[in-house]
Amino acid sequence: MGRERGREERDFGPGGDDTDCSILHVDMDAFFASVEVRRHPELRGKPVVVGGTGGRGVVSSASYEARAFGVRSAMPTSRARALCPQAIFIPPDSGAYGEASRAVMAILRDVTPLVEQLSVDEAFLDVAGARRLLGPPAQIAIDLRARIARELQLPCSVGIAPTKFLAKLGSARAKPDGLLLIPRARVLEFLHPLPVSTLWGVGERSAEQLHRVGLRTVGDVAQAPMGLLRSAVGDAAATHLHELASGRDPRPVTTGREEKSVGSETTYDIDVSDHERIKQTMLALSGQVGARLRAAGQSGRTIAIKVRFADFKTINRSRTLPVATDVSQEIFQTAWTLFRALGPTDRIRLIGVRVEGLAGAEGAARQLALGEPERGWREAERAIDAAASRFGRAAVKPASLLKAGDRRRQPDKRAEPDRLDPLSDGFTAS
């Protein structure tokens, strides 16, 4: 591995031909852990793990000293402690990481307005328009890394390439704290020896399907007959993978990142098997998702759930509705139906609800069914939104989420026949 890294630094270093390489991918190294080391310099050179420090915690970030022991992001904290007992565990501070992220992105936007932020710690840049003022792409990347290190005391890796896909590969290969240039003339030389799992869109199952037909490297995919690819992964994926394997990725850097889904999830402190409690959780999550959709003026047709069991096995299920919705009750009913169809008996660690395939709120309009009242859940929930904006979201919640004492304080439902039924998970004031 060290010899291979050394060859890449020599053959794909900043001294190469960057004539057609205007795309940069900047990726901060072990971002959360690096921010903590900056705040606590005495931690430099030590194994640092950022994440939930309780028994139910999950690793958010790990320094490279901790990674040497096998600690990885999304790993249970208990496992990380077993692998690296001497590690220093720090609870996350989202405010500090958000502030550091904004500072990084401000530096990137000083170079070019064409910055596509992917997450708090990575972004694409198109520096074609910055050449005349700031020099060639490789020099821009060198200067960027130096400025981020000097002003923010944070390390980052940068990939420089003709396309977004290749630039992201470059930054990954350059880690930690490195730079990799992939000249257009050497794209296939760099790309083809890599395993098929390198290609965007190839997960564990897709990799198995490609291996089954004898395709193990990116070069194998590029040279394979399209019929063979289609038989392995289907028509759409076959075309996509063949293009990437051939070094083609026409997607431009876009400054506006369109939200593709809205979701919410929760991890239980103790694994849960009580379906009534899970139902209440899903109702609360659906309420959060619906409120966010309505606030953003969006709606979506596909309702998805995520269920993670005690052994960390994770199942995702989804259903596409005839028309888009922003109604929390419709989201909940669909999500609960999906959950019941699973028929789970194992204890559950995490539950999530998500709405995908977003469009404008006008997409939620639909024709009333025969006998359906003109005003229903959508109008009720918009009234709830209005009340929440005035009195706070905690002032209005599903009646089934109220504590027993709160329920006793509610007026007798039988005296108010038009009131939403708490037993059907209607909403009420608290």
Tens of pLDDT, residue by residue over 224-247, are 999 999 999 888 889 999 999 999
pLDDT higher than threshold 70 for residue 390: no
Whether residue 217 is found in the same domain as residue 338: no
- pLDDT tens track for 56-82: 688 999 999 999 999 998 888 889 999
Whether residue 43 is found in the same domain as residue 177: yes
Whether residue 204 is found in the same domain as residue 340: no
Residue 116 appears among annotated catalytic residues: no
Residue 17 domain-assigned (yes or no): no
- pLDDT tens track for 333-368: 999 999 999 988 889 988 999 999 887 655 454 443
User: Beta strand pairing status for 88-90 and 48-51?
Assistant: parallel
Whether residue 175 is found in the same domain as residue 197: no
Report d(CA 359, CA 355) in Å as an integer. Answer: 11
Whether residue 315 is found in the same domain as residue 224: no
Question: Mean of the pLDDT values across residues 320-328?
Answer: 90
Domain containing 226 — which CATH number?
1.10.150.20
DSSP conformation class of 26: E
Catalytic residue among 8, 36, 116, 122: 122
Give all strands (DSSP E) within 287-347, no chain letters. 298-309, 314-325
**What pLDDT is stored for residue 170 in this prediction?**
96
List, in order, residues 6 or more apart from 430 with CB less than 8 Å away.
Answer: 394, 395, 396, 397, 402, 406
Binding residues: 27, 121
Whether residue 314 is found in the same domain as residue 378: yes
Compute the CA torsion angle 161, 166, 171, 172 (nearest 10 deg): -160
Q: How many CB atoms lie within 10 A of CB 286?
A: 27
Report d(CA 84, CA 112) in Å as an integer. Answer: 41
**What pLDDT is stored for residue 380 in this prediction?**
58
pLDDT higher than threshold 50 for residue 274: yes
Go through 238-271 and write b for each residue having 16 or more CB atoms within 10 A of its CB, e for each that does not. Answer: bebbbebbbbebeeebeeeeeeeebbbbeebeeb
Cα–Cα nearest to 281, from 380, 349, 330: 349
The more confident residue out of 331 and 389 is 331
The backbone torsions φ and ψ at residue 34, rounded to the nearest 5 degrees and listed phi first, read: -65, -40
423, β-bridge pairs: none
pLDDT higher than threshold 50 for residue 401: no
- pLDDT tens track for 88-112: 999 988 889 989 999 999 999 999 9
Mean pLDDT of the residues in the chain = 83
**What pLDDT is stored for residue 82 in this prediction?**
95
Domain containing 41 — which CATH number?
3.40.1170.60
Domain containing 424 — which CATH number?
3.30.1490.100
Binding residues for Mg(2+): 27, 121
Total of domains in the chain: 3
- Peptide linkage before 176 cis (omega within 30 of 0): yes
Question: Mean of the pLDDT values across residues 107-127?
Answer: 94
Report d(CA 387, CA 376) in Å as an integer. Answer: 17
Whether residue 290 is found in the same domain as residue 402: yes
Whether residue 156 is found in the same domain as residue 266: no
